[in-house]
Amino acid sequence: MKKRFLAAFLCLTMCLSLAACSSGEKEKKGSDSGDKKEESVKVAFSIPEMFSTFWEACWYGFEKQAKEYGWEATLLDPQGDLELQISQLQSQVTKGVDAIGVAPIENEAIGPALTTVNEAGVPVFCVDRRGEGEVVSTLETDNVKAGEAMAEQLVKDYGEDVDVLIIQGVLSDTPTLDRTQGVKNVLEKYENITIVGEPSAGEYSNEAALATTKNFLETNPDLDVIFTCTDALVPGIVAALKEAGKTGKVGEENHVGIYSVDGAGEVLKLIEDGTVDGTFSQYPIQFGIDTVKSMKTYLDGGKVEEKVYYNGDVVTDENIDKLHDDLWGFIIG
């Protein structure tokens, strides 16, 4: 794996060096704003993989704003393959892309590639996930605060004497790490709240979530609450609880609490029917819109914030009707 990654990165470096040498304008990084207004602007958005409607929402906002500017926008889906993500970035640079938005598959491993792309004169904007290396700006939810908010809701709903399982996503994802830390920041304040485990599902699939949940239910049959770092794992968790006979709705005796982060439509519907207790709804459509706006500001020679953090909404059965029309999960479906 390391040899293949090194080969891909070396190829990227060589190709982008050639691209940089043949494109003097791009080396100015944001100058020549008049030229940008006259010529067609090309931008690309590289997601990790389309495993969640969250990325559909990000792309929806990205493409919508690009069209408003009359720009050409391209979606890159490497399907969870880091080498392919790097290769796709390389391809876009050689095609003359003007700016790239990236949600890195692996935040550290992608670093050298992002720096090389930037040095070739193509500004890089990280979206939802941080990436090592040289980037112009990173736009993301304050995921530590998101985790803290959901943990506070959990304590409000279930009290200070419960057993909690944290099911993490992929550990190379910065949101997973930040949300887990946020939850622990709150729960570890309480002497009688026990975190029984913090396993990673390893991938974003129903099968992985189901297997991880079943494994811990076998040794912790009296589990009170599950927090998972992403809505993408919730359906598998729900399936595992049903297999274990834990089919009670929120507030009923045979219910295991479920809290998550994202705000996907499927999970919002599970909140409405009493299966899931709550989720922290992010603003992915706005991520996409603001990324393109930041690109325009930068390409026009303006100043762009290096870090842009977003809040979100804690959604439960108590406020879902009030928030309904503003929740991206209901907008995208």
pLDDT tens profile 75-94: 999 999 999 999 999 899 99
Q: What is the percent of the chain with per-residue pLDDT over 70, rounded to a whole number?
A: 88
Q: Are strands 313-316 and 278-281 parallel, antiparallel or unpaired?
A: antiparallel
Indicate which CATH number applies to the domain containing 81: 3.40.50.2300
Region label for 299, one of left (φ > 0), alpha (ψ between -120 and 50) or beta (otherwise): alpha
Say how far apart CA 183 and CA 144 lie, in whole Å: 8
Q: Which pair of structure tokens corresponds to residue 185?
A: 């920041």
Average pLDDT value for residue range 163-178: 95
pLDDT of residue 116: 87
Q: Minimum mean pLDDT among 33-37, 61-65, 155-159: which range?
A: 33-37
Which is nearest to 312 in space by CA: 58, 142, 139, 178? 142
C-alpha distance from residue 226 to each of 144, 211, 256, 261 (Å): 17, 14, 7, 12
**167 assigned to some structural domain:** yes
Residues 153 and 133 in one domain: no
Average pLDDT value for residue range 204-228: 96
pLDDT at 19 over 60: no
pLDDT at 4 over 60: no
Residues 292 and 278 in one domain: no
Most confident region among 35-39, 60-64, 79-83 by mean pLDDT: 60-64
pLDDT at 243 over 90: yes
Higher pLDDT, 7 or 126: 126
Residues 117 and 214 in one domain: no
Provide the β-strand partners of residue 137.
Answer: 125
Say how far apart CA 234 and CA 267 lie, in whole Å: 7
Average pLDDT value for residue range 7-18: 43
pLDDT of residue 195: 98
Say how far apart CA 116 and CA 27 lie, in whole Å: 12
The model's pTM is: 0.87
**64 assigned to some structural domain:** yes
CA atoms within 13 A on the CB side of 256: 27
pLDDT at 176 over 50: yes
pLDDT of residue 51: 85
pLDDT of residue 9: 42
For residue 119, give its domain range.
43-141+284-310
**81 assigned to some structural domain:** yes
Mean of the per-residue pLDDT values for the chain?
Answer: 90
Residues 89 and 104 in one domain: yes
Domain count, the chain: 2
Q: How confident is the model at residue 52 (pLDDT cuts 50, 70, 90)?
A: confident
Say how far apart CA 293 and CA 15 lie, in whole Å: 28
